[in-house]
Structure 1
Amino acid sequence: MTGPVRRVLVVDDDELLREVAKASLELVAGWSVSTAASGVEAHEKARVEHPDAIMLDVMMPGQDGPSTFAALRRDAATHDIPVIYLTAKNNTLGWTGEGLAGVIAKPFDAMRLSAQVSALLGWPD
């Protein structure tokens, strides 16, 4: 592997999905992955860890993905971190915003996840 080790924060209220995404990104791409189970936890971790990207579930109890995204954008410590939505929703038209790099549909292909993330963020493979 060449280049820097990418650091990604995966946020989802589904523990199994977090673990599958973490294992996939670490084993296939060699990235460093941390996880969060809620929007509030994600914001706290993003402030401390300042990952290269955040993969953010749209539908979560409490603070949902769009609310978390808005909070990240308002915070000077996290406003520049690119965000990719993870969603099972079919209609994602109109989902835009400064720093929203794209959308990945769930369920995702674990073997292709790192390639999808890299393509959305313009990272070399």
Structure 2
Amino acid sequence: MRALVIDDSRAMRRIVGGILGGLGYEVAQAGDGREALDVLGGGFVPDLATVDWNMPVMDGLQFVSAVRANPAWRSVTLMMVTTESEHGQIVRALAAGAHEYLIKPFTADALETKLSLLGLLPAGEPA
């Protein structure tokens, strides 16, 4: 399985990417939504994209909308991983096409639980 970790924080990309890599994902990274679209356009179409909300150039909500507007990327599962915790923000992200929402800070177990709920926990991994 493939994952794209999108966050302007290099440390957060390393943390999320490490968790996903440990679960068996092939992981690519991007520092903002525009860079992530370039990764997708370059042929790396992941099963899962974790998306931060607050990023320069193109934020997470704009990225989610752009992905949902492209039929070639409709199969990508989008999970917001962000500090935005207001109910209205969660509703906006889900309405734009995100499948799941994880609020920072989080534990590896919380991420694995979300993956399990989405059916994206690689075989043999506990939830």
TM-score normalised over the length of structure 1: 0.83
2:7 aligns with one of 3, 9, 12: 12
Distance 1:104 1:11 in 2: 14
Q: Does 1:46 align with 2:71?
A: no
| Long gaps (5+) in structure 1 | 1-5
Query: 4+ residue stretches of structure 1 with deviation over 3 A?
Result: none
Which structure dedicates a bigger proportion of its chain to helix?
2
- The sequence identity of aligned pairs, in percent, is 28
Q: Secondary structure at the match of 2:13?
A: helix
2:120 aligns with one of 95, 98, 123: 123
Q: Secondary structure at the match of 2:101?
A: strand
Q: Find the counterpart in structure 1 of residue 69 from structure 2.
A: 74
Letter in 2 for 1:41: E
* Cα displacement (A) at 1:98: 6.3
Q: Find the counterpart in structure 2 of residue 55 from structure 1.
A: 50
Alpha-carbon distance change, 71 to 32 in structure 1, aligned in 2, over 3 angstroms: same
Q: Secondary structure at the match of 2:4?
A: strand
Q: How many matched pairs?
A: 118
TM-score normalised over the length of structure 2: 0.82
Cα-to-partner distance string for 1:38-70 (whole Å, 9 max, x where unaligned): 101111212311100111101111211111111
Cα-to-partner distance string for 1:3-27 (whole Å, 9 max, x where unaligned): xxx2111100000000011111112
| Long gaps (5+) in structure 2 | none
**CA RMSD, 1 decimal:** 1.8
Letter in 1 for 2:74: H
